[in-house]
Amino acid sequence: MTKKEKILLKASIALAAVFAVAPASNAMHIMEGYLPAGYCVAWGVICLPFLIAGFVSLKNKVRENRRNMTLIAMAGAFIFVISSLKIPSVTGSCSHMTGTGLGAILLGPAAVSILGIIVLLFQAVLLAHGGLTTLGANTFSMAVAGPFVSFGLYHLCRKLKVNRRVSVFLAAFLGDLFTYCVTSIQLALAYPSEAGGVGASALKFLGVFAPTQLPLAVIEGILTVVIVIGLETYAGPELKSIGFLRKKEAK
């Protein structure tokens, strides 16, 4: 099986999955109109520095080496694909993954915030999925918090001499989970429960999101490892130029 065939296979699986679960309605982001206006603005402002840092980081990467563009495009495309796949989960509801782990590992967490917000905008405007008012909050959870965890974990694992693929898996897996933990906390902050305040409310939201998300986070980890294997095999020079591989490590 050649790489192309593999990609074809993956594409068809992706399409099949979309068709399989298409009737499912909205999934995981905070829904349009579900956060009080104050929170919308606050989260948006919190995201701003990350977005600016991300923009600068992307610009520098491209200026440093035009070839980096390809990996940036691929990381963005990966988020596009992964976050469009709604997958049925053990709890009987569907959710989708974030796909931001790959970008965070390859490009650093700030750069991903830009890629993430593009996807979130696409879904908010065209799909009524997530929303424009909740864009700030969703950007923070999916394109800032998750990637930072992925990035940190990956580099921690590499420091500890964990196998590269295992590191990639762990980073993507926990980054995905963390995204939804942040979502829960964001909802809890806006809707503290009367009995136990923010904490109890956060646990309630986590109870909804976490069991659904767990298997999906595993899938996200797996897919990220698969694409990293593909890139390691075929895109050594790009990975070197972006600083993912050192020269000697490339095949």
Partner 1 sequence: MSKNTKTVIILLVAAVLIAAVPLFALRNTEFGGSDDAGSVMVEEIRGEYTPWFTPVLETALGGELPGEVESLIFCVQTGIGVGVIAFFMGRFVERKKWMKATGQEGDVPASGGERACTGSGDTDDPHR
What three-state secondary structure class fits 180? helix
Tell whether residue 33 is a contact of partner 1 (CB under 8 A). yes
Choose between 156 and 234: whose C-beta lies nearer to partner 1: 234
Tell whether residue 4 is a contact of partner 1 (CB under 8 A). yes
CA-to-CA distance for 250 and 232, rounded, in angstroms?
A: 7
Choose between 161 and 247: whose C-beta lies nearer to partner 1: 247
- Which listed range, 15-23, 52-60, 104-112, 147-155, lies at the site for partner 1 (CB under 8 A)? 15-23
Read off the amino acid at residue 245: L
Q: At what angle do helices 109-127 and 146-159 cross, to 10 degrees?
A: 150
What three-state secondary structure class fits 88? strand
Cα 77 off chain centre by: 12
Tell whether residue 112 is a contact of partner 1 (CB under 8 A). no
Q: What are phi and psi of 94, to 5 degrees?
A: -100, 150
Choose between 148 and 205: whose C-beta lies nearer to partner 1: 205
Tell whether residue 223 is a contact of partner 1 (CB under 8 A). yes
Token pair 């976490």 in the structure block, residue: 210
Choose between 10 and 158: whose C-beta lies nearer to partner 1: 10
- Which listed range, 4-12, 109-117, 143-151, 170-178, lies at the site for partner 1 (CB under 8 A)? 4-12
Torsion of CA 84, 88, 94, 98, to 10 degrees: -40
Tell whether residue 246 is a contact of partner 1 (CB under 8 A). yes
Q: Site mask, partner 1, residues 45-64, x = CB under 8 A?
A: -------------------x
Choose between 42 and 49: whose C-beta lies nearer to partner 1: 42
Choose between 55 and 80: whose C-beta lies nearer to partner 1: 80
Torsion of CA 74, 80, 85, 90, to 10 degrees: 80
Tell whether residue 95 is a contact of partner 1 (CB under 8 A). yes
Could you tell me which of 177, 63, 72, 178 has the C-alpha nearest to residue 116? 72
Q: Site mask, partner 1, residues 66-85, x = CB under 8 A?
A: xx-xx--xx-xxxxxxxxxx
Size of the site for partner 1 (CB under 8 A): 108
CA-to-CA distance for 81 and 84, rounded, in angstroms?
A: 5
Tell whether residue 160 is a contact of partner 1 (CB under 8 A). no
Cα 57 off chain centre by: 18
Q: Site mask, partner 1, residues 114-133, x = CB under 8 A?
A: -----x--xxxxxxx--xxx
**Binder to partner 1 among 157, 172, 182, 227 (CB under 8 A)?**
227
The two tokens of residue 212 are 């659904």
Alpha helix segments (H runs only) across 143-242: 146-159, 164-190, 197-234, 236-242
Tell whether residue 159 is a contact of partner 1 (CB under 8 A). no
